[in-house]
Structure 1
Amino acid sequence: MKENTNKSIAINSIILNIRLVIVSVCGLLYTRFSLQALGVTDYGLFSVIACIISFSSIINTIMVVTSNRFIAMAIGKGNTEEACRTFNVNLVIHLLIAMLTLVVALPIGHWYISNYVNYSGDMANVYVVFDISVAASAVSFVGVPYNGLLMSRERFFVFCAADVVASVVKLVVTYLMIYHFEHKLLVYALVNAFMTAFPTVVFFVYCSKYFKDIVRFCFVREIRKYVEVLKFSAAVGYGAVALLLQTQGGALIINMFFNTAMNAGLAVANAVNNILQTFANNVQKPISPQIVKNYATGNMPRCTYLVCLASKATYLSMFMVSIPFLIIPESLLKLWLSDIPPYAECFTRLLIIDTLIFSINAGINDFVFATGRVKQYQLIVNSLVILSVIVGYFVIRHYMKAETLFYVYIAFSFIVFLVRPFILVRISHFDIRRLVYDSYIPVLMVTALFMPIFLTRSFMHPIACVAVAYLYFAVLVYFVALKKKERSWIVAAVLERFRRSL
């Protein structure tokens, strides 16, 4: 299969990281410009409205994973007709979700706004902003199957380009809003709606041109097909809800026993951790559809190799981007923020450690989704995630130390790390020994050998300390984490680049 090459994984990873850098920089800037243009009151209002419709992001996350899995399976089998039917099943489901969103969200949102939203300005603007946001979310639901098709076909450049264009447009308009436009709140709502809906238009046009055989409309009458997709999405949804409960539950517990200043520290830590995690996940994203397609074709050796590669690469990528925040978080936070909230440094380190442990098994998720036997896996793993919040509540209630909550999270992440392979054996014939030797042992050795670097903080300048850490980490990855074949491939790629530059 032409797509199943290590070169395509590397190219797609580069594309995703370029997109992430641009979108992240735009995000930091247009947050600042938005606050300047709108003021605290209107910006806070928009944040409240965003919370009201935040369910859409959860549904999108669930359904993108679902669409990607089913479409990739059909494409992996080389059956265009089946791929078309699968696409249309997902499209009909998402059209219904979009209509349901309009029917349910609009009246509930209007009721919530009229009863609970306190706003000193014109309340009519609040309803208009909410309606625009809900409509944009509905349009984004329709684009999910197209997004899944692009991921399955590994056309990462298309949705990366759409995200970059939308982010740049929002950045330019929010900057202009500081000095222009009379109805700034409405303009801001329209810009955010554009960012939400624009990718759907791009996906539709591109897929209609290049994947006509798959996206042509045909109504599938088999109820079984729809039930299969919905059952899978329900299992995936349990995982999304569990992670949301852990994140939001942590914030609520901290607020319950401490104060909002400490919540600010947690918000900073979450912001840092989310950016780092997104960078790391960009390494896994190009590998995910290939795992599904190789499983669909029965190419288990390649599938196993990709699972091990995804797990190892995601962990090492997360470790790599986290190094400065693990070694000198105080220096970085001072550079970014004028006033560092309480516990921001401590929370940042602990959240990163928790994410690192959770990421060691990154490739297992994709393999389990490929098998379709997700119920037992999702139930056990995500019940442990939810249990960590419950245990964390009682532990912090007893010890009254904020950081103990995240020690509990780390302990449960380690339990999940140990449990996942055993569940994998129960639902499939996956070669666990290969995972241990090709993924677990290399990353744990790199981690153990890297530990002495933390001692250099006491006698080296922060910049020099980070520079030495990255150099040492690169040596460890090359000689400890990579296999001989992977080292040869990297050397050949570098030499080829050097040869072309001459």
Structure 2
Amino acid sequence: MSRNADNQRIAKNTLLLYFRMLFTMAVSLYTSRVVLNALGVEDFGIYNVVGGIVVMLSFLNGAMAGATQRFLNIELGRKDEKQLKKVFSTSLIIHIGVSIVVLLLAETIGLWFLNTCMNISENRMHAANWVYQYSVAAFIVSVISVPYNATIIAHEKMSAFAYISILEVILKLAIVFILIVAPFDKLILYAFLIFLVGVIIRVVYGIYCKRYFLECKLIDWRPDKQLLKDMLSFSSWTIVGSLGYIFHTQGIAIIMNLFFGATVNAAQGIANQVNSVVKGFVSNFLQALNPQVVKTYAANEMKAMHKLVLRGCQISFYLVAFFAIPLMLEAPMILKIWLREVPEYTIIFVRLVLLLSLCDSFTTLLGTAKGATGKIKIYQITLTAIGLFHLPFSALFFYLGYPPYYAMYVYLVIILILQLFRIFFVCNSIGLSKKLFFKQVVLRCGVVLVISMCLPLYIHYIGTQSLGNSFLVGISSMISIAIIALLLGFAKDDRSKLLYKIFNKR
């Protein structure tokens, strides 16, 4: 298939995923406010931190999801249908094993931690235990879904992925209306309904995959021993990398709970929801691009892979900046309109979490490129070792009496160090010039950010805090980033092709 056809497919898949994202974003912003009001700040915080314990146990699943995606894409790139069936069957067997391991850990260590260490009021501990059990059950369901989700993405059938995701959002919207009128304990009911939605979506994914993909129909329950060894070997080092992410996100939530209580977890949960919306625009783009990066590597088309990586890293940064900058500047007004009652620390949490995503965005695709090589041992060990400093340094600041948002300052320093190591490792692995990466990605992204910030910053500081001024800041920021990125954010050839497509569209 020609490279032009691949580009058209990437563009089509990206548009489908953005349609999904716009719909889910609108519904999620509404449901978040209603759920916060229905549960209250304390119960909302409990749900976020208790669910976080389960997420901490899920690093095995995250690692295997990456391994499944990588091996499926490799075989699709090689066009080996027989091996593709083996990859799916082996992956499904591994995920069933992962679900058993997680269940054992959750019902022993996790349950003990919840009931002996967490800072939750005694009168809500009963509800917290129900939330925990439903969260564990929901996670087990999601584990079994991973091979099916990975198959859809590997085949680049983003329309199915988008439509099923929209169905999931509609079901979660229905939960909100049930939550408003239900006479039961709303926290327990909310956790149960989220679990029920997970079961329904799991069934839908299974039906679709078994109908359209041959490898999902013929499941061989006798795993290929060599493939099993290869997948476990690859995922074992991905697990190391997943640990770093888990410690940063859920580990820090638990430490905040121990020092400050559940109300701070509510503020952090809101900030993470805002951040997930922004990062969702990038993840949609990357979901459409990731399979092509792996397939070009498998086909030994290194020049095409380098172009995809450079262009993908640039666009990822511009997409995050497009939404993050106006949200950071106008967070007080936006949160007031959205939530009405804004929990303490929410504004600064939102701003710092978005800043972290912005700093991390221009190397996100490098992880996929490194994973395509299969040589990730030293890479994952090094990055995880650096990332692990987040917890002890954050705990030290809390112990010394600093407020909870200092954890974000600690991670900002760490993430900048991580970026340098990530660029060094990945560029060496795929034969991409580090000088070219810094010139085409780091320098261009920096120039676009600095220049495009001038106008919205000026409007923000000279204006009054009002809805009209926030609107002007948002519009000026988005227009500035779009124009400056188009004019200065790409290499000459890429810019010429993009301008040609824009002005010659029929």
Query: SS in structure 1 opposite 2:288?
Result: coil
Structure-to-structure mapping, 1:170-319, within 5 angstroms: 170-179=172-181, 188=190, 191-213=193-215, 215-251=217-253, 264-319=266-321
| Aligned CA distance change for structure 1 residues 262 and 181 (closer, same or farther; 3 Å) | closer
From 450, 472, 486, the equivalent of 1:478 is 486
- For residues 114 and 326 of structure 1, the distance between their equivalents in structure 2, rounded to whole angstroms, comes to 37
Q: State the match for 1:76 in structure 2.
A: 77
* Corresponding position: 1:325 with 2:347: no
**Unmatched 5+ stretches in structure 1:** none
Match of 1:97 in 2: 98
Q: 1:380 aligns with which of 368, 379, 382?
A: 382
Map of 2:9 onto structure 1: 8
SS of the equivalent of 1:482 reads: coil
**d(CA) in 2 for partners of 1:396 and 1:182?**
37
Q: 1:201 to 1:478 in 2, by over 3 A?
A: same
Q: Residues 113 and 465 from structure 1, CA distance in 2 versus in 1: closer, same or farther, beyond 3 angstroms?
A: closer
Cα pair distance change 1:419/1:115, threshold 3 Å: closer
Q: CA separation of 1:8/1:110 partners in 2, compared to 1, >3 Å: closer, same or farther? A: same
Give 1:158 shift.
1.4
- 1:296-325 CA-to-partner distances (Å, cap 9, x unmatched) read 111111111111122111111111111212
Is 2:76–2:295's contact at 8 Å kept on the other side of the alignment?
A: yes
The one-letter amino acid paired with 1:476 is: I
Residue from 437, 447, 462 that aligns with 1:459:
462
Structure 1 vs Structure 2: percent identity of aligned residues?
Answer: 24
SS in 2 for 1:468: helix
1:205-232 deviation line (CA, Å, top 9, x unaligned): 2222222156422345542321221222
**1:163-220 superposed Cα distances (whole Å, 9 cap, x missing partner):** 2112212322441454468797786555322321233322222222222156422345
Distance in 1 of aligned mates of 2:46 and 2:108: 19
Query: When the two structures are aligned, how many residues end up with a matched partner?
Result: 497
- Cα distance change on mapping 1:8 and 1:178 into 2, 3 Å: same
**Is the 1:12–1:286 contact (alpha carbons within 8 Å) kept by the matching residues of 2?**
yes
CA distance in 1, matches of 2:144, 2:241: 22
TM-score (norm: length of structure 2) = 0.85
For 1:104 and 1:408, how far apart are their aligned partners in 2? Answer: 30
Cα gap change, 1:36/1:300 in structure 2, threshold over 3 Å: closer, same or farther? same
C-alpha separation between the residues in 2 aligned to 1:336 and 1:286?
31
Q: For residues 250 and 110 of structure 2, what CA distance do their matches in structure 1 show?
A: 21
Q: 1:300 to 1:187 in 2, by over 3 A?
A: same
Give the match's secondary structure for 2:241. helix
The 3 A distance-change label for structure 1 pair 204 and 115 is same
C-alpha distance in 1, partners of 2:60/2:95? 10
Distance 2:225 2:160 in 1: 32
Moved more, 12-21 or 290-299: 12-21
Higher mean Cα deviation, 336-345 or 233-242?
Answer: 336-345
Superposition pairs for residues 419-458 of structure 1, below 5 Å?
419-453=421-455, 454-458=457-461
AA matched with 1:420: R
How far off is 1:480 after superposition?
0.2
Paired residues of 1:36 and 1:178 also in contact (CA < 8 A): no
> Matches of residues 4-43 of structure 1 in structure 2 within 5 Å?
5-31=6-32
Contact 1:34–1:175, Cα closer than 8 Å, also in 2: no
Compared with structure 1, are the counterparts of its residues 106 and 308 closer, same or farther at alpha carbon in structure 2 (3 Å cutoff)?
same
Q: 1:469 is matched with which residue?
A: 477
1:254–1:263 contact (8 Å) kept in structure 2: yes
Flag the 1:76–1:118 CA change in 2: closer, same or farther, 3 A: same
After superposition, give the CA deviation of every residue in 1:420-475 in whole Å (9 maximum; x if it has no partner): 22222554433334323332221121123234332332224332233222222222
- 1:171–1:56 distance in 2 versus 1, CA, 3 Å: farther
Aligned equivalent of 2:466: none
Of stretches 483-492 and 325-334 in structure 1, the one that deviates more from structure 2 is 483-492
Q: Per the alignment, do residues 473 and 426 of structure 1 end up closer, same or farther by CA in structure 2, a change over 3 Å counting?
A: closer
- Please report how far the alpha carbon of residue 8 of structure 1 lies from its aligned counterpart in structure 2 after TM superposition: 2.0
Which amino acid in 2 is paired with 1:89? Answer: T
Q: Within 1, Cα distance between the matches of 2:42 and 2:404?
A: 30
Q: Which residue in the other structure is 1:415 paired with?
A: 417
Report deviation, 1:36: 6.9
User: 2:314–2:445: 8 Å Cα contact kept in structure 1?
Assistant: yes
1:495 Cα offset (Å): 4.6
Alignment partner, residue 61 of structure 1: 62
> SS where residue 373 of structure 1 aligns?
coil
How many Å separate the matches in 1 of 2:131 and 2:403? Answer: 41
**1:492 & 1:157 partners in 2: Cα distance?**
27
Return 59-68 or 451-460, whichever deviates more.
451-460
Please say if 1:490 is aligned against 2:498: yes
**Given residue 17 of structure 2, which amino acid in structure 1 is its aligned partner?**
L
1:257–1:400: 8 Å Cα contact kept in structure 2? no
What is the CA–CA distance in structure 1 between the aligned matches of 2:53 and 2:254, rounded to whole Å? 17
Cα distance in 1 for residues equivalent to 2:190 and 2:257 = 30
- Quote the offset at 1:290 in angstroms: 0.8
Q: Is the 8 A contact 1:38 1:185 kept in 2?
A: yes
Greater relative CO, 1 or 2 (CA 8 Å, sep 6+): 2
Q: Which moved more, 1:327-336 or 1:20-29?
A: 20-29
Taking a change above 3 Å as real, the CA distance of residues 56 and 347 of structure 1, as seen in their structure-2 partners, is closer
Question: CA 1:422–1:188 in 2, change beyond 3 Å: closer, same or farther?
Answer: closer
How big is the shift at 1:360? 1.7
Q: Deviations over 1:47-74 (max 9, x none)?
A: 6764554356544432221210111111
Query: Displacement, 1:368?
Result: 0.6
